């Protein structure tokens, strides 16, 4: 199925409600940022950023007037200290803003900030984006329901996200996948089945190859591969269930070929059940926090009415769970989805006990 048939239209930005703001403050996600996304838009010039193969990365390096740059650099370093430590400014003299890059592709159009420690030349990145309620929900669900913790801050205008390290999925498929051994390919196929299942359960859409990374970790005599989402813009917005299933994007077909080649049907079913069980356990562990977030999602516009109507019908067709047919908003859909996953997990657990 072609991507342009899956993604219906450009997603609008949804503002935070007062209740969502209270939720974010309660869980220490709120920050009065010293600089805003709109401040960074005031660059006076830019040049294209190329990769090491002289290919356009679709990022441009932004340049500012001297007076603007001094103010911007100082405040970006303050954000770095808030994101990675306690906000203590004693380390500011040892930090340098090496680059401010602006992405010209996609919906969120983020700024990527490269911060370098001048004492040892270690560097890291973080991102400055426009605040969007559905993206905030996506980040929170990733933090609670995936194997990975996420560090981010937000206010009414600006969202600050830490960098998620890894090899972009499209680059991995193009340049690295062919060099993987048969055992490594089987492991990647397994992780992709789990990633696909996890994305569908928590309704994280548009997981095309450039919206996730492959993370290799060396472990004794082998390399372990994990898959992490890096873009959360399409959380609970689209009206087609297939958008929340990465397997249907043509950019991911090479890995789907691996799944078909390396895993039999029983293995695929086994890994899906494993991932549902893991997500169910996380839902139980974060029960109060998930419930509070879902409550605010019910009160926050996160999609279009036609998307909601179509999605709840498609999920009902998929699960035959009547709860989805009565959903009035995306918060209801998420609540029904999580209840469905937990119910199946509890039933399986009881069957194992008796």
Based on the fold, state whether residues 185 and 146 are members of the same structural domain: no
Mean pLDDT over 290-294 rounds to 98
- Of 132, 162, 192, at which residue does a domain stop? 162
Based on the fold, state whether residues 253 and 137 are members of the same structural domain: no
Based on the fold, state whether residues 196 and 297 are members of the same structural domain: yes
Alpha-carbon distance of 343 to 133, in angstroms, equals 28
Q: How many domains does the chain have?
A: 2
pLDDT of 1 over the 60 cut: no
Based on the fold, state whether residues 150 and 194 are members of the same structural domain: no
**Shortest CA distance to 330 belongs to which of 304, 350, 348, 353?**
304
Based on the fold, state whether residues 212 and 73 are members of the same structural domain: no
Residue in this structure with the two tokens 């939720």, named with its chain if needed: 23
Whether 5 is in a domain gets the answer no
- Of 138, 162, 186, at which residue does a domain stop? 162
Based on the fold, state whether residues 25 and 111 are members of the same structural domain: yes
Based on the fold, state whether residues 189 and 148 are members of the same structural domain: no
- Of 112, 128, 162, at which residue does a domain stop? 162
- Give the residue numbers spanning the domain of 153: 15-162
Based on the fold, state whether residues 120 and 242 are members of the same structural domain: no
> What does the pLDDT look like over 296-348, one tens digit per residue?
999 999 999 999 999 999 999 999 999 999 999 999 999 999 999 998 776 65
Query: What is the DSSP secondary-structure string of 229-296?
Result: E---TTBS--S-GGGG-GGGSGGGHHHHHHHHHH--HHHHHHHHHHHHHHHHHHHHHTHHHHHHHHHH
Whether 7 is in a domain gets the answer no
Based on the fold, state whether residues 184 and 155 are members of the same structural domain: no
> What does the pLDDT look like over 114-124, one tens digit per residue?
999 999 999 99
Based on the fold, state whether residues 197 and 310 are members of the same structural domain: yes
Based on the fold, state whether residues 232 and 316 are members of the same structural domain: yes
Whether 107 is in a domain gets the answer yes
Taking only Cα atoms into account, the Rg of the chain, rounded to an integer number of angstroms, comes to 21
Based on the fold, state whether residues 202 and 244 are members of the same structural domain: yes
> What does the pLDDT look like over 143-164, one tens digit per residue?
999 999 999 999 999 999 999 9
Phi, psi of 187 (to 5 degrees): -65, -40
Q: Return the percentage of the chain with pLDDT > 90, whole number.
A: 85
91 pLDDT band (50/70/90 cuts)?
confident
């Amino acid at each position: 199925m072609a991507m342009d048939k899956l993604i219906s239209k450009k997603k609008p930005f949804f503002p935070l409600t007062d209740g969502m703001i209270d939720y974010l403050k309660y869980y220490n996600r709120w920050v009065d940022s010293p600089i805003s996304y709109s401040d960074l838009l005031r660059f006076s010039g830019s040049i294209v950023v190329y990769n090491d193969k002289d290919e356009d990365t679709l990022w441009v390096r932004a340049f500012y007037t001297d007076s603007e740059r001094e103010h911007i650099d100082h405040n970006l370093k303050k954000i770095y200290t808030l994101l990675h430590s306690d906000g203590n400014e004693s380390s500011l003299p040892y930090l340098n803003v090496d680059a401010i890059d602006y992405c010209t592709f996609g919906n969120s159009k983020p700024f990527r900030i490269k911060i370098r420690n001048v004492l040892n030349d270690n560097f890291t990145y973080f991102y400055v984006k426009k605040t969007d309620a559905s993206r905030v929900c996506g980040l929170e669900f990733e933090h609670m329901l995936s194997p990975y913790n996420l560090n981010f801050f937000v206010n009414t205008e600006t969202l600050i996200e830490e960098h998620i390290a890894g090899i972009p999925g499209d680059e991995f498929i193009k340049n690295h996948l062919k060099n993987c051994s048969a055992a490594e390919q089987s492991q990647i196929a397994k992780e992709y089945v789990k990633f696909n299942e996890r994305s569908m359960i928590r309704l994280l859409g548009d997981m095309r190859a450039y919206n996730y990374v492959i993370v290799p970790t060396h472990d004794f005599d082998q390399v372990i591969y994990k898959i992490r989402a890096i873009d959360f813009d399409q959380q609970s917005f689209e009206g087609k269930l297939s958008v929340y299933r990465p397997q249907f994007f043509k950019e991911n077909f090479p890995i789907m070929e691996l799944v078909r080649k390396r895993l039999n049907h029983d293995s695929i079913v086994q890994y899906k059940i494993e991932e549902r069980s893991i997500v169910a356990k996380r839902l139980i562990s974060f029960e109060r926090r998930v419930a509070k977030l879902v409550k605010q999602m019910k009160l926050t516009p996160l999609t279009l009415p036609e998307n909601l109507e179509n999605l709840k019908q498609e999920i009902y067709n998929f699960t035959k769970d009547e709860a989805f047919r009565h959903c009035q908003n995306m918060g209801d859909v998420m609540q029904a989805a999580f209840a469905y996953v937990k119910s199946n997990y509890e039933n399986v657990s009881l069957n194992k006990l008796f």
